[in-house]
Amino acid sequence: MRKQKLFSFLMILILVVAGCGSKDVYSGDNLGGGLLTVEDLPATLGRGFPKGIRIANVPASSVDAGELAPDFRLVLADGSSLALSDLKGRPVLINFWATWCPPCRREMPDIIDRYNQNADDLVVLAINTREGLDLVEPFAESYEITMPVVLDQAGDIMRLYEVNSMPTSYFIDRDGRIVMRWVGLMSPDILDSFLKIIL
């Protein structure tokens, strides 16, 4: 009994120290909130602006077509979370963007439109890179973004997906595998052709 209490105490201490040492790695299954589905995210602009967190002890994997998409978590302020791997069974578009990026601004209305047309099945994760909520929230309001807007302020998810320029988009099939990576502005025709593959 004493060993079990000591073990529990040490585990809690390790989690606290790990949490203090790095804000950019998610190391637990649940940090105070519950596990979510996409539908559980707040039904507001940006869907609560969850923080994108790389999962600890998950090695980086290839971002080539046919490979499983590297996993990460969306974590809300209350600690509730959702992993990309939890979305298996649904097609996913991951779009890396920034408010200062003119091509990102040009393609965002088309991405929003396709999301709204297919919201019952398609998951779009609009991952903003290296900007704070003070810039992202007004952008989301002006574009009326109702899909999840993920904050990647440290650039961890961007590095995990080997994003070197923006916009960059990944199309992920229902099995969680990368079908296509597109770097640069997507025309509506290009967007539709890739969505047709994963939908």
Instruction: Render pLDDT for 164-185 as a digit per residue (tens, 0 to 9).
Output: 999 999 999 999 999 999 999 9
Amino acid type, 163: V
- Is residue 17 included in any domain, yes or no? no
- Is residue 8 included in any domain, yes or no? no
Dig out the tokens for 98 from the structure: 């920034």
- Is residue 115 included in any domain, yes or no? yes
- Is residue 189 included in any domain, yes or no? yes
Which pLDDT value is given to residue 30? 39
Tell me how many domains the chain contains. 1
Residue 190 zone, left/alpha/beta (φ > 0; ψ -120 to 50; rest): alpha
Q: For residues 38 and 24, what is the distance between their CA atoms, to the nearest angstrom? A: 21
- Residue 32: name the closest of 65, 77, 79, 74 by CA: 79
Which pLDDT value is given to residue 35? 81
CATH number for the domain harbouring residue 37: 3.40.30.10
- Is residue 50 included in any domain, yes or no? yes
Q: For residues 82 and 89, what is the distance between their CA atoms, to the nearest angstrom? A: 14
